[in-house]
Structure 1
Amino acid sequence: MGIRKVILLALIVVLSFSSYMYLKEKYNPMAIELRFRGDLEKEEFQKIKKGLYLNIYSVNYSMKYKKHTLVMTTGMDTQLIDIPIIHGEFITDSERKVAVIGDKVADFYFKVEDAVGKRIKIFENEYEIIGIVKNSDVIYIPFNKKFFKLDWDKKIFRYVSYDKDVSYFKIDKVVSQLSALGLDVYDIVVYKEKIYGYINVIIFAILYVLFDFAMKLYRRIKRESITLLQGYMEKRRIKEWYEYILEEKKGMLKILAHCTIFVFIVIGIFKVIPYLTISPSSIPDNIFSLYSILRVFKYKYSKFILHLNNGYSAIMIDVIIINTIFLLIITGIVLNITLKKVKQGKSF
């Protein structure tokens, strides 16, 4: 493996790990996000959460409000996504008429950064401001059934799954419970899949290195074995096989050592593979079936169209931005290396 390839792989690993750490800090990796149509009343959801043991959850309705974004929430958002509170606290009680606003909203209405204790009017209702969010133009208010009739742009339900591995069966149970209430769940985002996707890149880089090294070892073992076999074929008439082995014991030990390393590498490859986090919808039922592969592409295409029509979730927008930056950096380096090689070729 050349030095340029090693540097490129190292850069991919560093960028992937940095992306993973950034997303992990911003979003709870164990959170599941469901977008739905319809109205989810608090009393109805209380029954669902008890039956499914959902301790950490939030229901958000969001819409454009004047020059800002208005979010109606049941609370607990800070345990699901990073909301940097710089003054005060976040909403924990939907019974109180309180609000949390972004610092840009505070500056717009009050011309000050810390507006905690002041009051803000939303749809003819006054709310006491209890918290300020850094670098934000969002207004958070408590969940209120009276506002269901408003024209909300997005309705999102998030909850934390305590399963070590993503339980798609449990997700299906939550979806079926919501559907029983007359809600249409049209999109599901598993945060772990998005965040751990960058760990997958690191794992693929490790697998590439291991596989490359294993193939080089295999070719060396094959070459050394053929050399020893040819040597034996030349001497077999004058020497017994065990005499030849004793004579070439250094070569035999060398092959044995290489075989041992090769076996450990193969075991390592199979040990690393289970750490990949891949959505079942991204894996064809039969990789040898063109129909199965096309079905995966069809599913991905339908999701793409869905997001174009209904918008992307915050974590997916972050992933798109990170991937774009990632690809631009890698493409720039590859082009730079290619151009240098072309120039060196011309100089000859």
Structure 2
Amino acid sequence: MEKTLTPRALGFRMPPEWAPHAATWTAWPYDEEKWQGYLEPVRQELAGFVNTLARFEPVELVVHDEESERDARARLSGNVRFHRIPHDDLWLRDSGAMFVARPSGEGPLELAALSWEFNGWGGKYPAGLDNQMPLHIARLLGLRLFYPGIVMEGGALEVNGQGLALTTRQCLLSPGRNPHLHEEELEDYLREYLGVDALIWLGEGLEGDHTDGHIDTLTRFTAPATLVTSVALDPDDPNHRPLKENLEILKSLGGFRVVELPLPKEPRWLGGERLPLTYANFYIANGVVLVPQYGDPHDERALEILRPLFPGREVIGLQSRYLITGGGSFHCITQQQPAGRIWRGA
């Protein structure tokens, strides 16, 4: 791997999600078949999410075609800009450009972005259009793209902005992504392209998670030294053991406050498969944290746990009962654009 022109060599690193945003990128659902007949209620939930988010920061909304743009415009209001870009699905956390930033003297941060390879979570789903999403975003913004050349997804990574990143072995070492790379080589890529100094490896993710254990369904930084991590309270739940093992890894690190966040109490299934319900898939934006709710007895409890962790931000619960049928929630559909000016390269 050529290191002389990597983001790290040029002083870039990925900011934490709680750093100021210029905007949030997300996309509008359009395919009835993909949503197994739930497209209308999914659109209703997305409208609630985007309209709430747009009260706090600008939203850059990707729409697939004329119908989806017309539908989105009819449901949305506020600070939303529309971009017609053909795409496979709306999970921009994984397919969109991942932004990195560097200081620029006394002025605002300079921004560039990464274009990892996206192959539909290890070849499970079509991804040819989604793999081009970073290029479209870079052209719209006029910013420099870096191409690491390996498969990676934003939902698989969590950073604290001070050199640490979290991931899972189940995801990054899955054979459908980068079978030619070992742990140390993957760590090297993340050091050079995200500017991280150390990678914390957790084990397995949630039952029914087609992403093979994305970290953003499990464990999140809420501050540089504070982690919130999902736990299954029922010892008979298949998620109990792997989540307990992840919790033990985090506690063994030392130097971190680790807060336990129970999974929803009532599992849900679709087509015979368990849905990966989790409150850890919240999204941190300017002045607000948006938390998925499922009509579950643990919904309010999750909000009560999260509110003290985000002083100065409003913590709002929004419905994700139908969005989760696609396998993810609010963090999965978003990609933050940090505040700063565009760096176009030397």
TM-score (norm 1): 0.23
TM-score (norm 2): 0.23
Q: Which is strand-richer, 1 or 2?
A: 2
